[in-house]
Structure 1
């Protein structure tokens, strides 16, 4: 602290800005005290510097007190407070401040909108407000501003409003990597993997390079589509980059992608070559082994993870229980279900109950599965009753099957698959009266069986065929056509 005789408002302002860089809360509070002692308040510059300093150190209560005492608030001070709440995931508080801001007649600028849209995205239930806010952006002339536009695009993409996201994307004249990533992740999150991969091709065609945010989304899309070739291409780019090789999120995505493409051995190799891993890494690998029916290996990985000092969370237990279910490890599943609460204090959630019902049901313990559902502290969702109904279908249990089906008819009155599953149980035991009754109910409700669908990938493009609508002759024609295409693609010098 400088000599008392040389202290003035400019000196203290300079000190505060240095403290912001150092993030030293004690020194910030000392400077704040000097400001009060020397009577430099109210001073909008000093108060704004204090507000920013406290916000940067995440002392939001102090920041709010400084803001509340400001008699002359400028745009910068409002933006600092709105942004600081967003950065600390206090989205509703941020929007509360923004509401006060609008009521006082202030006009948002290009610094305000990105923070507000992040708050809307964080809450996830303000699509109407975000859309109406877009009208204000256009009215004030900020629609073409790249940062504002990126925030709006990200809001639409993460909210699943992909039509509006696409329009916003098409209207943007400047597209940086952030913009492309928002669009790619939006497609991936919505399950539109083909569109995500096409977006990547367009991005690369415009000379943009993938970064650490692009790669996990693309690998997720590759895994969902089973596009092993594109996944390996992305992996090749990861191997060439020291930065990407050390990225744990990318490593986790590679493990997941290879497993979904049927290459569990490569998933294991990726894990073995990772220099850093976290709980998500272990959980992903456990889940991958479980999906491939290697429940014993999943349990060994779970024990190994605990040996390394990682504490499992709710998602980890879901992966372990699902692995037990896929492999029929009923005793191990029961043991894990019990000690997740006794040893780790994690109360079972709906996903855990669904896994246990599936495990018990697959093993034929249908009465025990039904009793477990009755113990769920809230209303059991369709996924839980659906698991029980599926098990009854396997074991031809009409009594419990009717109980599960009746619950599903109430929860999902328009889902034809539940009626078909019960009809299948009746058919397996020769109950013609039950079959007739279900078919009549389906006709009265206007429900029809959804035709089965299969797909293949040809040079990155998906072709789907609805088996229920195709005659034998048409199936034969399609197969012959595909054979000709594949043979042509395999000829030397031919590019598909």
Structure 2
């Protein structure tokens, strides 16, 4: 076959795409020009695809702008490429030009556009696009409906997501996984697990994408029995040994259910581990108050050649905070800039302020907040206020609380924290003033919640709530236990 034919050059370009060989793509581009095939629409589209797939977006855009004719495929390639590189606004600008040309989107155009809308938080355009989906009759495509479902979930519109999901005539494993994940992201863990059960009843096979979402729901709901069941399913389907995300999710689930030993077993049994794995296990030790183990694992991770990212450093700092390791926490915080060349994030400041506040270093914590390069957010001031409440420091407590009242005027917990400081010091005028302010704003205290799993069923109890079907029996038993304890103390 002659190397001067468009067919050969097209095949050559497509072979370079899979290997992302940009120098070879440019050489072939030169051959196309030399042999006079530059105005061949197929070769133009292949060049656009090759530059896009190889990440050379300036060359791709230059190629696109010079095309005298643009097929729907060409528009889709450019839009998808910008979205893939998180250039969401540029992708939407290209789509605006697309609409000005009087063209109609197809089922390949819409999915990346939904991702772009979610990326910039443009709910209005996302809903407008869905109107076009209905108008053009594209809602029958699973990929289109699933993309809109993903958009709704990322924008926090769980009600809209439920409605779209219920209308979908064909639901594949991707759609089910998105809905399970969506419930989990919204904190509706019980709904997430119910959705998973419906998925199994529908006969849809679980895959590596589904399992982490279900495990997250199990951990969030404290459902250890269901979590172990999913663990068994992962092993049975031979997904556990090959998918590191599943292993990471198992570690997190066991830790949240209070089974640190099981989390450690999963960690040690994993054939492949990544930075997320190390970070998750470090965080697990910290949550369970094992700061020394957390630091040892952090050092081991570095010894294995892994470089911590901001999330890893947050996990280590949080571990120091939970375990009261003040000097170690200061050292880790200072290393963020000096050793790893990173700028401390809001989360890093919040962790160190929490650590210093817990152990009474409130002046140092306040100084740290004031020296932040950016304005301290509510999470940092909240950590400082918690320390003030613990150590009954009204001066710094008022500073932190008043700043929080500006940042979160509707958050009742901030008012309650300041009220608690006043109450502990018998400053009744302050207590009355805070309560009056809460009453004026219509704020009420959020009730505390605890839960326990009995025979596979999770029972939740809220402060002051009597809705549990066994409330009378529970309180009778509680009063009996208190009476027995009182009698025992007399002896």
TM-score normalised by length of structure 2: 0.92
For the 8 Å contact 1:124–1:159, the answer to whether it is kept is: no
**Structure 1 22/367 Cα, relative in aligned 2: closer, same or farther at 3 Å?**
closer
**Match 1:184 to one of 175, 180, 184:** 180
Distance verdict in 2 for CA 1:438–1:60, change over 3 Å: closer
Task: Show the counterpart of 2:426.
Answer: 430
> Counterparts of 1:6-405 in structure 2 under 5 Å?
7-21=4-18, 23-121=20-118, 123-405=119-401
Alignment RMSD: 2.2
Deviations 1:420-470 (A, max 9, x none): 222211221222222222223323333333333334445555554443355
CA distance in 2, matches of 1:24, 1:120: 31
Aligned to 1:493: none
Which is worse superposed, 426-435 or 107-116?
A: 426-435
Larger deviation: 11-20 or 241-250? 11-20
| Change in CA separation of 1:84 and 1:438 when aligned onto 2, cut-off 3 Å | closer
The alignment covers a number of residue pairs equal to 477
- CA-CA distance at 1:23 after TM superposition: 4.3
What do the CA deviations read for 1:389-438 (whole angstroms, capped 9, x no partner)?
21111111121112211112222222222222222112212222222222
Once residues 24 and 350 of structure 1 are traced to their aligned partners in structure 2, the CA distance between those partners, rounded to angstroms, is: 40
Change (3 A) 1:200 1:98: same
Shift in CA distance, 468/19, structure 1 to aligned 2, threshold 3 Å:
closer
Contact 2:180-2:196 at 8 Å conserved across structures: yes
Distance 1:300 1:429, change over 3 A: same
* Mapped partners of 1:321, 1:169: distance in 2: 40
Counterpart-to-counterpart distance in 2, 1:114 and 1:418: 42
* CA distance in 2 between partners of 1:172 and 1:463 (Å): 33
**CA–CA distance in structure 2, aligned partners of residues 88 and 404 of structure 1:** 40
2:450 match: secondary structure: strand
1:491 aligned residue? none
Conserved 8 A contact 1:197-1:218: yes
Tell me, which stretches of 5 or more residues in structure 1 are unaligned?
483-496
1:109-139 per-residue CA deviation (whole Å, 9 max, x = no partner) reads 1111112122223x14111110111001111
Deviations 1:319-357 (A, max 9, x none): 111111111111111111112211111221111111111
Farther off after superposition, 67-76 or 81-90: 81-90
1:238-275 deviations in Å (ceiling 9; x for gaps): 22243432211111111111011000011111111111
Distance 1:302 1:132 in 2: 48
Moved more, 269-278 or 8-17: 8-17
CA offset at residue 481 of structure 1?
A: 10
How far apart are the structure 2 equivalents of 1:15 and 1:344?
A: 43
On the 8 A contact 2:89/2:120 being kept in 1, the answer is no
Query: How many angstroms apart in 1 are the aligned matches of 2:74 and 2:305?
Result: 44
State the 1:87 CA deviation: 2.5
Partners in 2 of 1:455 and 1:347 — Cα distance?
39
Find the counterpart in structure 2 of residue 416 from structure 1. Answer: 412
CA distance in 2, matches of 1:149, 1:446: 40
Moved more, 53-62 or 177-186: 53-62
Matched position secondary structure for 2:240? helix
- Could you tell me whether the CA contact under 8 Å between 1:293 and 1:327 is conserved in 2? yes
**For structure 2, which runs of at least 5 residues remain unmatched after alignment?**
479-491
